[in-house]
Structure 1
């Protein structure tokens, strides 16, 4: 595959970013890559999935949190509150396995090329958002806080780390 100096196929550019940062990764197929990034709270699985027909790169960041049945209502409520705070991407729970994830899609235009700056910004934003709200999810799962209390506690704690 030929590249110019600035842009490349999305999955290849993600691989270049992961390699430059020393993050482990592997290709899942021609249009998908998965890797691990250490955040402040946890190690996150980051997946990039290229949809050629739509010129869209879907970026997923999974903090390895499964939502047990008895916590689902509270988790869905805190997700609604969390998503109101976000300007890029959103959190969701996959119905298959009840796995929490951050999801964002980048529309890359007709050429379908991604720059290293775009790749870095997208991955860093995903990890930052997972780190920012990880405590709220844990307060729901392990701290028996209400969704509003969990979000308020997480945002206060995060503000205190500057």
Structure 2
């Protein structure tokens, strides 16, 4: 694969994967291009290290952005986890949480529809990354409370939201 130009200024737009890689490199975060239109990286959040993944679909001009907080949902906790997902997703404006059927992993997913040119600005890239990390940090405790603390989904969300309000 040929090296890509990643020396962008604040006013430049670029192909989505290139812009995200440039952002990760500028922040000193680990990342790699895993396919022509896909990248993966890692970022330390408040509660855990998150895997961030971006997949560009040029046919639709959609960038799918995923954040995986390395939380697996066991079969016996799945019903409560889905109930919590429903409550959590009601709180969100952008993106949503889901349980990936392949491996039962919790993930945050956001699909960004880019313009006709299919380019991503540095501001958009920063927003995608920061929103994913913020949402994972905000709701990580709720998932922990349900999966390991045996709280009810409502109690877990209430406790997590109180903690989040206390940190602000």
Q: TM-score, normalised by structure 1?
A: 0.97
Shift of 1:91: 0.1
Picking from 108, 116, 121, the partner of 2:114 is 108
For residues 125-155 of structure 1, the C-alpha deviation after alignment (integer angstroms, 9 at most, x for no partner) is 0000000000000000111000000000000
Residue matched to 2:22 = 16
Q: Give the root-mean-square deviation of aligned CA atoms.
A: 1.3
Query: 2:39 maps to which residue?
Result: 33
Tell whether 2:73 aligns with 1:64. Answer: no
Counterpart check, 1:124 vs 2:140: no
Match of 1:134 among 132, 136, 140: 140
Per-residue CA shift, 1:28-72, capped at 9, x if unaligned? 101000000111001000001000100000000000000000100
- Paired residues in the alignment total 162
Aligned partners of 2:27, 2:102: CA distance in 1, in Å? 31
2:101 is the counterpart of 1:78 = no
Runs of 4+ in 1 over 6 A off after TM superposition: 1-4
Structure 1: 5+ residue stretches without partners: none
Aligned to 1:158: 164
1:81-100 matched pairs, under 5 angstroms: 81-100=87-106
2:150 to 144, 147, 161: 144
Deviation at 1:161, TM superposition (A): 1.2
The separation in 2 between residues aligned to 1:59 and 1:95, in whole angstroms, is 17
TM-score, normalised by the number of residues in structure 2? 0.94
